[in-house]
Amino acid sequence: MSSLLRLVRGFPGKPLHPPFTDAAIGAYTVATAMLIFGAVGVEEEQMAHGSLLAISGGLIVTLPAAITGLADWLGIEKGTPARTVATIHLFVMLAATALFAATWLAQLDGYKHDEVKTLGLVLGVAAEAVLAIGGNIGGANVFVYGIRVLKRGDTPARQALDPRGVKTEKP
């Protein structure tokens, strides 16, 4: 694996993909909540503005999330169940991103006119549902297949946040 690819993936025990995905998911979730609250009449003008800004932030952070995720995907052995799950995750997240981009476009006029557009709301809720499914599938690679998870004996004790909490030897 090239040095650049290793750098993009992050360091042992500290992959870069999860922090970017957390930021994007948070922004998208806040945007969807604002669309819903605005649609039911809670501070509609502010929610119309805030939702578009939050979606914008999510779309911006999605680029590094996608780049680091692709770097992780390239490191998974071809033909394995983990690679299959990662590939499904990749396509579902591309669909979620496309839906949020469509939501952004649908809500742009609402931003200008201080209202939550019905199409923006429908697309935003659909995008959030697809995002939740994709995140769950991505989590399977971590929690089921252990992708990018250090094995106990491989844990770099000197690099851990709290080296006293990492045990590399059996008592």
Task: Sort strands 14-15 and 10-11 into parallel, antiparallel or unpaired.
Answer: antiparallel
Show the DSSP H helices in the chain as ranges.
3-9, 17-39, 44-74, 81-112, 118-143
pLDDT at 136: 94
Show the tokens assigned to 49. Answer: 């503005």
Secondary structure (DSSP) of 125-159? HHHHHHHHHHHHHHHHHHHTT-TTPPPGGG--GGG
Model confidence, pTM: 0.83
Residue pLDDT, tens place only, 55-99: 999 999 999 999 999 999 998 999 999 999 999 999 999 999 999
Q: Is the pLDDT of residue 40 over 70?
A: yes
Q: What is the mean pLDDT of the chain?
A: 87
For residues 41-67, average pLDDT:
96
